[in-house]
Amino acid sequence: MKSKKKSIKIALTVFILLIGLASNFPFLFMISSSFKVSGEVMKFPWHLIPDNPTMMNFKALFTNGIYNFQKWYFNTVVMTALTIAIKIFFVSFTAYGFARIKFRGKDAIFLVLLSAMMIPGDIMIIPRYMIFKNLHILDSMWALILPSCVDVYFVFLLRQSFISIPDSISEAAKIDGCSHLKIYWKIIFPLAKPAIATMALFSFTWSWNDYMGPYLYISTMDKQMLSVGVKLFSSGLIQDYGAQMAAATVVLLPILVAFLFCQKFFIEGVASSGVKG
């Protein structure tokens, strides 16, 4: 009975491993191909390890005269960093208000925010264009940064995690004469770091991967972001498979590495708080 159970466990493990490997095969193919000369990418039979590994594709990516790839990369890094930095403070500050202050009208407003979560984003794209134009942030990265700071989802999740911090901790500080601002900054914010880290990581992936935003609201080539850039690049060099794979690699690598090092925050963040809504 026990050995039967063990063999089932092994079989299941192998099975899941195969699914996992298959689902990550595109990434393996990409990384392997990015070190191949273009002719070798499509060579059959296929090798994981390139015959003659080369850095040529990466060099070409950042030195070619048509596409300003390094500028797109720089823009995306700055835009993502700004989004995360602003969001961490902006969203946690708001969540504190909803979680730890008992003011009148709170529940009604929170309900409005929650129901706004159900509005599909597609309906916003045209009016937002007009608003960005009137605020003079159209064709700048602020058109991507500012709307993504209004993230109801994370206001909701951080509120949950702030509520779960026992009242007694902030009560003591209150008796000592601490204001809400001080309690937020000195007590709640540090205690909620794991939840805030989860938010930072998800914001990183969402901003880094956003395609629709830059596609619709940014028109100047030099202000463009990587997602749009990599599409331009790959449709411009349609036969140069090695270069395309190198482009995909430099776009995907930061995010895959971030994931590998911070899986805990990604996955447990979702598993523990994702469903309570």
Site for another protein in 101-120 (CB under 8 A): 101-106, 109, 113, 116, 118-120
> Using the rule CB under 8 A, is 1 a contact of another protein?
no
Least Å distance, CB 226 to another protein, is: 8
Q: How far is CA 120 from the centre of its chain?
A: 19
Least Å distance, CB 25 to another protein, is: 8
Q: Which of 55, 163, 193, 211 binds another protein (CB under 8 A)?
A: 211
Residue type, 151: D
* Contact characters 74-93, another protein, x per CB under 8 A: ----------------xx-x
Least Å distance, CB 262 to another protein, is: 10
Based on the number of CB atoms within 10 Å of its own CB, is 159 exposed (0-12), middle (13-18) or buried (19 or more)?
buried
Q: Which of 60, 82, 114, 128 binds another protein (CB under 8 A)?
A: 128
What's the Cα-to-Cα distance from 19 to each of 12, 25, 260, 266, rounded to whole Å? 11, 10, 18, 21
Nearer to another protein, 122 or 222 (CB): 122
> Using the rule CB under 8 A, is 274 a contact of another protein?
yes
What's the Cα-to-Cα distance from 129 to each of 68, 79, 80, 94, rounded to whole Å? 25, 18, 20, 26
> Using the rule CB under 8 A, is 150 a contact of another protein?
yes
Segment interacting with another protein, rule: CB under 8 A, options 61-69, 147-155, 161-169, 186-194? 147-155
* Contact characters 165-184, another protein, x per CB under 8 A: --------------xx---x
The residue written with tokens 């109801």 in the block is: 152
Least Å distance, CB 193 to another protein, is: 19
Q: Which of 69, 144, 251, 265 binds another protein (CB under 8 A)?
A: 251
The size of the interface with another protein (CB under 8 A), counted in residues, is: 99
Q: Which of 48, 49, 66, 126 binds another protein (CB under 8 A)?
A: 126
| DSSP-assigned states of every residue in 2-54 | HHHHHHHHHHHHHHHHHHHHHHHHHHHHHHHHHTS-HHHHT-SS--SS-SS--
> Using the rule CB under 8 A, is 185 a contact of another protein?
no
> Using the rule CB under 8 A, is 236 a contact of another protein?
no
Q: Which of 51, 121, 163, 186 binds another protein (CB under 8 A)?
A: 121
What's the Cα-to-Cα distance from 43 to each of 46, 60, 198, 262, rounded to whole Å? 6, 21, 41, 36
> Peptide bond before 45: cis, by omega within 30 degrees of 0?
yes
Two tokens, residue 33: 């191909």
Residues of span 37-76 touching another protein by CB under 8 A: 41-46
Nearer to another protein, 55 or 256 (CB): 256
139 Cβ contact list (under 8 Å, min separation 6): 217, 218, 219, 220, 223
Rg of the chain taking only CA atoms, in angstroms? 23
In contact, 224 and 72? CB cutoff 8 Å:
yes
